[in-house]
Amino acid sequence: MPEISRFFGIVIRMFFREHGVPHFHAEYGEHKASISIETLTILEGHLPSRAYGLVVEWASLHHVELKEAYSKVSKHQPVGKIAPLE
């Protein structure tokens, strides 16, 4: 489960061997959510509204990189880091 970014206490990961809608996982403290790369909606789980807003802002800035990372992880290829939100 490669960690692809970390900012403001939020950890962004993608997991190998996942299928379905292209998505990533965001963790903030005890909160976890799966988020669609295309729509940036929460598919499963929950994040506090402030953390979710930061994740959406970050994902909007890195949409192309997220799609590329999901393609790589789906093929069990190494995934690099994506710049954090600053």
Exposure pattern of 51-82 as b/e (b: 16+ CB <10 Å)? bbebbbebbeebeebbeebbebbeeeeebeeb
What pLDDT digit, counting tens, does each position of 40-73 carry?
A: 999 999 999 999 999 999 999 999 999 999 999 8
Q: Which tokens go with 62?
A: 């890195």
Residue owning tokens 């990533």: 24
pTM: 0.93
User: Between 55 and 16, where is the model more confident?
Assistant: 55
- Give the per-residue pLDDT at 28: 98
- Give the per-residue pLDDT at 64: 97
- Give the per-residue pLDDT at 51: 98
